[in-house]
């Protein structure tokens, strides 16, 4: 068992870590009130030749930071947890109002601040991102 783990550990550096191929564009956070979850938005560009799977995110400014997707279902705005989001090779995924977003439970932030988050990928790699905090209207 120990030998198997060691083999996997040695094999990892030969693979390009997901975070090396991802660039973050247009990051921002929509903040309303401390009692209301804030939402993080950004575009993830995959510059690599392999799909990259985002599996989660965390931030010291959020009790929990969850992957969510908004959907309009027969006139009712609904939101659901998504276990992962795949960023296609040489493609991008946009988190934007009405679609994918990072749901920041128990936000501790102020408009005008920068919130640091960490994006977590399926291969275990992590990518930091800095999201400026805007109010309900979004970017000025
Ligand atoms: Cu949500």
Over residues 120-134, the pLDDT tens digits come to 999 999 999 999 999
Dist. CA 38 → ligand 1 center (Å): 8
Confidence (pTM): 0.85
Q: Which of 12, 68, 19 is nearest to 40 (CA)?
A: 68
68 close to 60: Cβ distance less than 8 angstroms: no
Q: Which residues surround ligand 1, an ion (CB under 5 A)?
A: 68, 79, 103
Over residues 87-119, the pLDDT tens digits come to 999 999 999 999 999 999 999 999 999 999 999
Over residues 52-65, the pLDDT tens digits come to 999 999 999 999 99
The yes-or-no verdict on residue 10 having pLDDT over 70 is: no
Quick one: DSSP state of residue 35? Answer: T
Dist. CA 94 → ligand 1 center (Å): 15
Element (H, E) at 4: helix 2-11
Dist. CA 20 → ligand 1 center (Å): 27
DSSP 106-139: S----TT-EEEEEEEETTS-EEEEEEEEE-TT--
Q: What is the pLDDT of residue 14?
A: 41
Dist. CA 18 → ligand 1 center (Å): 25
Q: What is the pLDDT of residue 15?
A: 55
Q: What is the pLDDT of residue 18?
A: 80
Dist. CA 68 → ligand 1 center (Å): 5
* Mean pLDDT, residues 4-28 taken together: 71
């Amino acid at each position: 068992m120990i030998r198997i783990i060691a083999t996997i550990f040695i094999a990892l550096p030969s693979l390009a870590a997901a975070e090396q191929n991802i660039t973050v564009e247009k990051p921002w956070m929509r903040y309303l009130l401390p009692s209301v979850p804030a939402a993080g938005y950004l575009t993830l560009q995959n510059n690599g030749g392999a799909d990259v799977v985002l599996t989660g995110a965390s931030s010291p400014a959020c009790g929990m930071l969850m992957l969510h997707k908004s959907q309009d279902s027969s006139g009712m705005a609904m939101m659901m947890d998504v276990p992962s989001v795949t960023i296609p090779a040489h493609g991008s995924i946009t988190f934007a109002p009405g679609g994918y977003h990072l749901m920041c439970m128990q936000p501790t932030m102020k408009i005008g601040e920068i919130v640091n988050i960490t994006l977590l990928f399926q291969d275990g790699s992590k990518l930091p991102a800095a999201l400026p905090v805007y109010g309900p209207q979004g970017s000025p």
